A and B are shown apart, each in its own frame.
Chain A
Amino acid sequence: MRLERWITPAAFAAVTLAVIIMPAERSGWAFRDSVIPFLASFATTVAIFAVISLGLNVQWGYTGVFNFGIAAFFMVGAYTAAIFTKPPPAQPEFVSYVGGFGDKLDFLPFLSSDQWLPFLIGTAAAAVMCGVLAFLLSIPTLRLREDYLAIVTIGIAELLRNVSIEERGLVNSARGLTGIPRPFHDFFDPGDYRFVYFGIALGVLALVYLAVERGIRSPWGRVLRALREDELTTAASGKNVFAFKTQGFVFGAMIMGIGGSVFAYERGSVSPDTFTHFFATFIFWAMLIMGGSGNNKGAVLGAYIVWGLWIISLQLLGYDLPQFLRSRIFFIRDFILGALIIAVLLLRPQGLLPEERRVSIWLERQLKRRRRLWPWPRRREPTEAAPVD
């Protein structure tokens, strides 16, 4: 019991220390020149992945919808953002893709908006595209049993990835899209830009976090959580099961799309090989399961810890490792991540930060107010003896 309380802070501290100390040691403790920029990039990626992890938390942690095709939404979000911010292809014989609306979206010249408006529109379009995709998927699949839905989403993610590889005219096939403009890039020194972008990613994460919290802690979120617990009871309580399930699925997918768009701006390029199942689906499940599904803070913490482990394994490569370890480090990383997930599922299935007991904000406020006015009597003993069957 005592130990359990320390697991979460210990995991957090261990990852933080490793992420700070390893690059510091390797660079000869040059904090200013290499550690801080490294940490900024690391934190940016964590923020982006935390957004997607929050999207998964809405779908799985609250609504109970299995989505094993996060890669599909991640990819659609990233590509949509790229198409909306890039100019049209300059040399169609070498590079071709649809759209390229970037230079048309600067329709507020008096605000000199080309540094923010196309990106905002790109992100919105990414969310909308993912929402539409999720809605179309939900029509045939959400009436299915959970396990079938999982298989369908796996299939869709793989299908979309293959389409993006094969269709040259759509998104430039396997070479992907490069040269995606980055918001406010021209205003800053290239060396400082990563800090700026960290701020942007953090802002997006904060907004998404607040939006999800507000939604989940409302009566709407209560219906979603009821669906996760028992669909029949929810139907017997007069809720339209299919409609609410679709809403949860679409809302989560839109958040994933936002995450994908922020990812595209950060990398400056997207290509199909990023969006494999292992990287783009599994890792978010790892984050959510480790952090605690059904808790938004847990989703963010899980993103931090899993991505921290991921980065640590890359950092290890910089050390003078024996050859047999060096060539296998990526496999060892995958193995350790898998083992950790199993450990979490066995030992602490609720994750590092379990779901809170009372979730409604309105109710929480209500209880606080009442307690001030009229303290409740102390808890009575249950009046009922053991059930008689």
Chain B
Amino acid sequence: MAENGALLRVENLVKSFDGLRAVNNCTLEVRKGCLTGLIGPNGAGKTTLFNLITGFLKPTSGRIHFNGERIDGLPPHLTFRKGIVRTFQVPRELKSMTVLENLMLVPSDQAGERIWNPWLFGFRVSRQERQIYDKALQILEFVDLQHLRDEYASSLSSGQKKLLELARTLMCDPQLILLDEPGAGVNPALMKRLVERLELLCHELGITFFVIEHDMDLITRLCNPVIVMSNGEVIAEGSPEEIKGDERVLEAYLGGQYLAGT
């Protein structure tokens, strides 16, 4: 795969729910190593698109390619194995497990996940558990939650839960991270650090990001290019500056009367 080639390609993707076309003939590309933004008014189909890419929903028609491979219709745990991880818009932490356990759950192919290994090969499980533990601590440090590692995930604030979601995606060396509104509920100072972290991850580690966000400041600072969706369709794509000046985007956000008034 060439540098800056398309890591994820969505072609003519359609998802209808009983006549409502939540995603309607959507075609877009996410280039490798970029922070691609996805914006659009409420109900534009952004989260549905994420659900389709990660396999939580099966598309009605259309194709999704990841690294040149077709992944549409794969169940979530298999898209995960291909290297796509996501966060949820409303954090879905594992409530009565500790923050550390929330993270240690994630790595794939843990020896101890086979039912017989903990009994038969305790040493191997233990060694792996040690590595996962170290990694979880590093990542907790990265998102600045290390002091909460033994707290129940349910006792975190909603901003901290967002960070925990991000931390969860980092536990598994992903290629593509889909972030569903990472900024909602995170205070500005923390957000600033989060942005730096995301850029670091993207530029240093080459992880590709695809980010749904409503906060235009954040989008402007973080993402290039930006894709705009409205009513299930992609209506514009370009740099944040181009998007801001695009009439179709303004129309989608503010309705027809805005243009009629000018």
Contacts and interface: CB of A to CB of B under 8 A. Distances in A.
Contact of A240 (B77, B115, B184): B77
B172 interface: yes
B210 interface: no
B115 A238 contact: no
A358 interface: yes
B184 A389 contact: yes
A215 B114 CA distance: 10
A235 B85 CA distance: 10
Interface in A343-364: 355, 357-360, 362-363
Given A218-B125, A363-B133, A366-B133, A232 B56 contact: yes
Interface string A353-382: 001011110110110000000000001101
Contacts of A239: 77, 105, 113
Interface size on A, as a range, is: 35 or more
Interface string B80-119: 1100011010001111111011001110101111110111
Contact of B186 (A237, A365, A387): A387
A64 to B, nearest CB: 11
Interface residues of B, number: 54
Given A237-B106, A366-B130, A225 B97 contact: yes
Interface stretch (B35-43, B62-70, B142-150, B197-205): B142-150
Interface in B185-215: 185-188, 190
Given A222-B105, A383-B144, A388-B187, A215 B115 contact: yes
Contacts of B97: 222, 225-226, 229, 359
Given A220-B118, A238-B80, A357 B150 contact: yes
A241 B77 contact: yes
A237 B168 contact: yes
A230 interface: yes
Contact of A237 (B75, B80, B117): B80
Contacts of B85: 236, 238
Contact of B112 (A220, A235, A359, A365): A220
A366 B172 contact: no
A215 B112 CA distance: 9
A223 interface: yes
A218 B106 contact: no
A235 B188 contact: no
A387 B112 contact: no
A384 B185 CA distance: 11
B231 to A, nearest CB: 26
B12 interface: no
Which of B92, B108, B117 is the most central at the interface, judged by chain A CB atoms within 10 Å of its CB?
A: B92
Interface string B4-29: 00000000000000000000000000
B115 A247 contact: yes
A206 B81 CA distance: 38
Interface stretch (B153-161, B219-227, B245-253): B153-161
A384 B159 contact: yes
A89 interface: no
A386 B88 CA distance: 21
B76 to A, nearest CB: 4
A222 B96 CA distance: 11
B166 to A, nearest CB: 13
A249 interface: no
A236 B80 contact: yes
Contacts of A21: none
Given A235-B75, A384-B187, 7 more contacts: A214-B119, A219-B125, A229-B95, A234-B105, A355-B96, A358-B100, A384-B190
6 contacts: A218-B125, A223-B113, A235-B76, A355-B96, A358-B100, A386-B157
What are the 4 tightest A-B residue pairs by CB atom distance, in nearest-first order? A219-B112, A238-B80, A218-B118, A362-B129
